[in-house]
Amino acid sequence: MGDAHDSSRGRDDKAKGGGWKREEAGEGVARGQPRDASRATHKDGDTDSPVPANMAVPRERRACGAEVTQPEVRPRLRGLGARCRGWRTVSGAMPRAAGLGRAAALGPLLAAHVVAAIEPISVGIALGAASALTGYLSYTDLYCRFAECCREEQRLNASALKLELEEKLFGQHLATEVILKALTGFKNNKNPKKPLTLSLHGWAGTGKNFVSQIVAENLHSKGLKSNFVHLFVSTLHFPHEQHIKLYQDQLQGWIRGNVSACASSVFIFDEMDKLHPGVIDAIKPFLDYYEQVDGVSYRKAIFMFLSNAGGDLITKTALDFWRAGRKREDIQLKDLEPVLSVGVFNNKHSGLWRSGLIDRNLIDYFIPFLPLEYRHVKMCVRAEMRARGSAVDEDIVTRVAEEMTFFPKGEKIYSDKGCKTVQSRLDFH
């Protein structure tokens, strides 16, 4: 492909830029871990399993099951509109103040339960009285102000997302447009026929993780820290080729458990290009057009796959436009999407090599991230300065941008690392 770099270079660069990657990966571990990782039982209780404990037992599943601390109260709460996922939070991460409120609110309900054992007819009256006394019916709302609740029906604030993408994401007109359309359409549809699957492709440092973070925050306010957003990093969670079968089983269990607990869960698979071929096909049934799989509906979940695979194809198209004197913004999705899906399908190092996900058209959108130019790097430097609360100094902006390396050799149009090292370089100025 002429002077354009191949995607393996992007991978090498990522490996070299390990500080950032490790930091993110570490975050993934912490977030992915069950509330009580020590209780996570691997197959046969094998604590020496190479698989991270967080992959062993879906946390919501456990919390919705036997570990609920007040099981006798649970049916009553369900009757009042609380659901299993509510219980996960009630028995889990409730802040102290809310916990006191809960104790006060649950007192009459517990009393009602005791009454039920003595004289069942009184239960309705007792519950009604308890609700009236404690204002329980608004309790869930109140509770969700303090702790995180899964609000499946919550609509997407499309204009806020649009504004955020337009303001913060530089040089990615295709990604901005497709993500906005895909999410708005999906979230406005009360009965989606399948979960939304987005496959993000592009050169290093072009904004794939950055966008996934923005999307996560717009779907669940705690973003990547939300209990309903799950980040998998291939090299961290699925490192060993010899354990593919185990990873597949655990991935299925993990996703099933989390979607059971929150239908609008978001799953982000980072470094897809480093995922062993076949692992991802384990979740194919969940991404298909089934109403339910084993009693669980996956139709409101969102899956995002992030990858450098196809970055070379995207760069080639961008370069062709540039060389033909055409504007970058004239590149359309139809110029790239078909090339991407075929390229990724045929690429052994894409994580989607010969994948049934592509074969069966289960990926809804292949989203290209274009390589970033000098002017975009400058925009990233300015954004970083503002984020640090500093005044924008154009001399520094130029110096940082000029320290970056650009390709192809002759024209030097695209930044080798996108905006990835801007933050660390800015520290020197």
Ligand X SMILES: Nc1ncnc2c1ncn2[C@@H]1O[C@H](COP(=O)(O)OP(=O)(O)OP(=O)(O)O)[C@@H](O)[C@H]1O
- 36 vs 329 by CB, closer to ligand X: 329
Give me the least distance between CB of 422 and Mg ion, in Å please: 14
In terms of Cβ atoms closer than 10 Å to its own Cβ (0-12, 13-18, 19+), residue 20 is middle
CA atoms within 13 A on the CB side of 428: 9
CA-based torsion, 53, 57, 63, 68: positive or negative = negative
Choosing from 208, 299, 378, 382, the residue that interacts with ligand X (CB under 6 A) is: 208
Is the Cβ–Cβ distance between 276 and 186 less than 8 Å? no
Interface with ligand X includes 419 (CB under 6 A)? yes
Contacted entry of ligand X, Mg ion, none for residue 204, CB cut-off 5 to 8 Å set by kind: ligand X
The footprint of ligand X on residues 343-372 (CB under 6 A) is: 372
With CB under 6 A, what is the number of residues at the site for ligand X?
A: 20
- Site for ligand X contains 228 (CB under 6 A): no
- Distance (Å, whole) CA 400 – CA 297: 49
Scan for tokens 């520094």, then name that residue. 396
Q: Which residues contact 255 (CB under 8 A, 6 or more apart)?
A: 58, 265, 267, 283, 286, 298, 301
Q: Which residues pair with 236 in a beta bridge?
A: none
In the bound complex, what is the minimum distance in angstroms from residue 213's beta carbon to ligand X?
8
Backbone angles phi, psi at 253, to 5 degrees: -60, -40
192 binds ligand X per the rule CB under 6 A:
no
Q: Which of 380, 381, 397, 413 binds ligand X (CB under 6 A)?
A: 380
390, amino acid identity = S
Residue 257 binds to ligand X (criterion: CB under 6 A): no
172 binds Mg ion (CB under 5 A): no
- Contact flag: residue 207 with ligand X (CB under 6 A): yes
- Residue 56's nearest CA partner among 81, 38, 71 is 38
Between 108 and 205, CB nearer to ligand X: 205
| Cα–Cα distance for residue pair 248/255, rounded to 1 Å | 11
- Pick the piece of the chain touching ligand X (CB under 6 A) from 35-43, 84-92, 167-175, 283-291: 167-175
Assess 209 for contact with Mg ion (CB under 5 A). Answer: yes
Closest residue to bound ligand X by CB: 207
Nearer to ligand X by Cβ, of 126 and 340: the residue is 340
Bridge partners, residue 406, by sequence: 415
Nearer to ligand X, 108 or 171 (CB): 171
How far, in Å, CA of 54 to CA of 41, rounded?
10
Q: How far is the CB of 316 from Mg ion (least distance, A)?
A: 21
Of the pair 198, 380, the CB lying nearest ligand X is at 380
Query: Does position 58 bind ligand X by CB under 6 A?
Result: no
What is the smallest separation between the CB atom of 305 and Mg ion, expressed in angstroms?
A: 12
- 169 forms part of the interface with ligand X (CB under 6 A): yes
Question: Hey, what's the torsion of the CAs at 54, 60, 61, 63, to 10 degrees?
Answer: 110
CB of 33 to ligand X, least distance (A): 22
**Smallest gap from residue 377 Cβ to Mg ion (A):** 17
Q: Which residue of 206, 265, 317, 415 would you call a contact of ligand X, by CB under 6 A? A: 206
Residues in contact with 98: Cβ distance below 8 Å, sequence separation at least 6, in sequence order: 142, 143, 146, 147
Residues that bind Mg ion (CB under 5 A): 208-209
Residues that bind ligand X (CB under 6 A): 14, 168-172, 202, 204-210, 308, 372, 380, 418-420
